[in-house]
Amino acid sequence: MADNAIEKARAHYFGAADIPYPEAFELSERWSHWSQLSADKIAAFASTEEAIHYAQQYLGFEHRHSADNSKSHWPKYDDALKADFPDKIDLIERLTESPLSHPRTVADFHGRTMSNVMFWHAYEFLATHCRVGDVGAIAEIGGGIGVLARLWLENSSKLKTYILTDFPESLFYAELYLRHHFPETDLHYVTESDGCEVLDKATIILCPAQLAGNLEGIGVDLAINSGSMQEMTEGAMLWWCNWLEAGDISYFYSLNYGLQPIHARRGGSANWMCPRLGPFWDTLQLRLDPPIVREQSLRHYREVLYRRTAPQDTQERAERASTLLAAHSTPVSINREQSVLELLDALRLSPSISLVMRLVQILGTLFDYRPKELIYVCRVGLELSDVSDNERKILADLLSELSEIAAEEHSSAVPSAPLF
């Protein structure tokens, strides 16, 4: 089965690799590097196991480490999951690693096979499945080798369709991984002639990122992006946000970097803020650094769960934004990070110069570094029609200063050494 699977995946890759990307879809330096590494290897793999092991050891799909180096931390990771989902302990203890995973990274943990990153993947599954509920159709933007898709397909009673869209180099590994785990499940690889009717063609649908525009308007219950929207260039990130807006999508879940230093663009954080949706989404979950993030990452992650809502009138949105501004405008109310998250959400609902200047005050003076979101906030402020001359000068001067800082990028951009 493995040889047949790898030939199918290779044929799909070579059929999609030369399809042009949308004009705005410039790859970040980080993923240009990894995509080229992958492209150079795809023709040579002899088995599914060899390909998956290479992806886990050399490519940037996940922060996987050797079990010897990480296992002492696993009890803390397990505690973090159970702290967030105390009523789902039975489910947590059923989530296990794939037998395909690199043997140096897995070990027994309380009777089940785990790795350091499997606790993270388990969190992504729980954060979507438990908060949205069992759904019929999912679209994942940037699904890596397909781990989250596997967890959903193994643990959902209602799921009928899982769409995974990514670079062709990434889909090569996802196809191998998912064919191995679900050999009897229909899998369809999207071609240039496919459109939204693709939902009726298979349970697992793999869509090259270049062809995701063919699916614009797709109807799914839940869209997911975890850990890759932050790595997109500004243009590519906005392209995907427009794709989400155009779709018939009920929920969108994002777990991506937030409040990163303004100069940290090459090391996996390539845009000023993500995601950036319009006002017609209700925010059901908004927080910085869930417990599993605090245990596994030195970076901040902004977690958001949106539910699409019917359009509200302008006044209603302005009142909601004003209420959020008032709640974070007195010293006694300030929780620095949560204030920023909620005020940025208010800015999404109804931009105003008052919100912009409050965010500039917090981001510019209450942090000991300059968060990237400050550039986004300044740009929003400069586009407002009611900005005063003095406010415009403040924002323009600050934006000029920030742009100089951002140009001094650090050098730890694209690791080429094995990850473990």
- Residue 305 makes CB contacts below 8 A (sequence gap 6+) with 127, 131, 132, 251, 252, 253, 254, 283, 284, 285, 286
In a shared domain, residues 123 and 43: yes
Encode the chain (420 residues) as per-residue pLDDT tens digits: 446 899 999 999 999 999 999 888 877 777 777 778 888 899 999 999 999 999 999 888 899 999 999 999 999 999 999 999 999 999 999 999 999 999 999 999 999 999 999 999 999 999 999 999 999 999 999 999 999 999 999 999 999 999 999 999 999 999 999 999 999 999 999 999 999 999 999 999 999 999 999 999 999 999 999 999 998 989 999 999 999 999 999 999 999 999 999 876 555 678 999 999 999 999 999 999 999 999 999 999 999 999 999 888 899 999 999 999 999 998 777 788 999 999 999 999 999 999 999 999 999 999 999 999 999 999 999 999 999 999 999 999 999 999 888 876 544 455 557 778
| Separation in Å, CA 119 to CA 64, 109, 301 | 11, 11, 16
Residue 401's CATH number: 1.25.40
Are 332 and 289 contained in the same domain?
A: no
- In the structure encoding, which two tokens stand for residue 241, read together? 């946000």
Cα dihedral 306→308→314→316 (10° resolution)? -70
Same-domain status, 336 and 259: no
Domain boundary among 242, 276, 308: 308
Q: Tokens representing 208?
A: 């090259």
Asked if residue 318 and residue 272 are part of one domain, the reply reads: no
Per-residue model confidence (pLDDT) at position 75: 98
7 and 116 in one domain? yes
**Residue 167 is assigned to a structural domain of this protein:** yes
Q: Are residues 357 and 298 in the same domain?
A: no
Type of residue found at 31: W
Pairing type for strands 301-308 and 281-288 reads: antiparallel
Number of domains the chain is built from: 2
Give residue 289's domain range.
2-308
- Which residue has tokens 């037998």? 99
Q: What is the pLDDT of residue 335?
A: 85
Pick from 107, 77, 102, 105: nearest CA to 92: 77
Q: Are residues 43 and 132 in the same domain?
A: yes
How high is the pLDDT of residue 304? 98
Q: Does residue 20 have a cis bond before it (omega within 30 degrees)?
A: no
* Separation between Cα atoms, residue 127 and residue 152, nearest integer Å: 11
For position 183, what pLDDT does the model report? 97
Phi then psi dihedrals of residue 101, to 5 deg:
-65, 150
Q: Hey, what are 262's tokens?
A: 């303004």
Q: State whether 265 and 386 are in the same domain.
A: no
Residue-level pLDDT at 61 = 87
Q: Is residue 419 part of a domain?
A: no
Q: Within a 10 A sphere around the Cβ of 272, how many other Cβ atoms?
A: 22
Question: At CA 94, angle to CA 91 and CA 97, rounded to 5?
Answer: 130
Residue 382 lies in a domain: yes
Q: What's the confidence (pLDDT) of residue 44?
A: 93
- Close Cβ partners of 349 (under 8 Å, ≥ 6 residues apart): 279, 317, 318, 320, 321
Burial class (CB in 10 A: 0-12, 13-18, 19+), 401: middle
Asked if 253 and 365 sit in the same domain, the reply is no
Whether residue 194 sits in one domain with residue 109: yes
The alpha carbon dihedral of 188, 225, 290, 177 has a sign of positive
Residues 213, 262 within the same domain: yes
How far, in Å, CA of 159 to CA of 375, rounded? 40
DSSP per position, 275-314:
----SSEEEEEEEE--HHHHHH-SS-EEEEEEEE-PPPPH
Per the domain annotation, does 420 fall within a domain? no
Question: Do 178 and 293 fall into the same domain?
Answer: yes
Give me the pLDDT at residue 1, please.
43
Single out the residue in 287, 308, 329 at which a domain terminates. Answer: 308
**End-of-domain residue from the set 268, 286, 308:** 308
The overall longest dimension of the chain from CA atoms, in Å, is 68
Cα 343 from chain centroid (whole Å): 21
Please report whether residue 197 resides in a domain: yes
Q: Give a yes or no: residue 322 inside a domain.
A: yes
What Rg do the C-alpha atoms of the chain give, in angstroms? 22
Looking at the domain assignment, is residue 415 inside a domain?
no
User: Looking at residue 277, which CATH number applies to its domain?
Assistant: 3.40.50.150
> Domain for residue 319, yes or no?
yes
Q: Amino acid identity, residue 286?
A: L
Contact 234, 26 (CB under 8 A): no
